[in-house]
Chain A
């Protein structure tokens, strides 16, 4: 079973700061997902990546397959970015399908 570890668990920052959230996993994967869970509970898919880097607006996701590590960056952070950010992986090589999720990083951006 793949183990997914996120750091930090909690992060409080000031508006405008550059934010980095990290995700490490233990075995080979076919894809890694970054999700955002709003304070109201809804979950939105931000990125799915298997190599390199993806960018969407102020959000950037990178992955290093050799290091088994991914980062989610938020530039020019804003209070509306306050949410729980969740990393999830799909393990390569078959087995029961579905994602293995990290416990999430609770981000608060203060004005």
Chain B
């Protein structure tokens, strides 16, 4: 009964390093999302994928890239990490893009030094 699985759970990077956050869902959902959560702010959408083979920018896409590898997996890449990208990152999925409950992973806590 895994739902949405994110890896890693914690990561510390140095400025300029790159890394990929992984997300996989086992609910056969079509749509997947990446959010970031910062203190004092609501969750903000980084990128989303309405269906396999499509990706679109959200509210705060700068500094990130995504890949919808297949229906199950949606990864988020930081090419050159910056301290402003220190945040908690959540992956979510839903059956379809609009007006469906979203299921969230447990989050990845990322610190950029």
Contact = CB atoms under 8 A, between A and B. Distances in A.
B101 A33 contact: yes
B84 interface: no
Interface string B71-112: 000000000000000001010100001111111101101000
Contact of B56 (A50, A97, A101): A97
A86 B107 contact: no
Contacts, number: 62
A43 B44 CA distance: 14
Query: Which secondary structure dominates where chain B touches chain A?
Result: loop
B98 A97 contact: yes
Contact of A4 (B42, B45, B97, B103): B42
A41 B42 contact: no
29 contacts: A30-B98, A33-B101, A33-B102, A41-B88, A41-B107, A42-B104, A42-B107, A43-B92, A45-B104, A48-B101, A86-B42, A88-B42, A88-B43, A90-B98, A96-B45, A96-B58, A97-B48, A97-B50, A97-B56, A97-B97, A98-B45, A98-B58, A98-B59, A99-B43, A99-B45, A100-B42, A101-B43, A101-B44, A102-B42
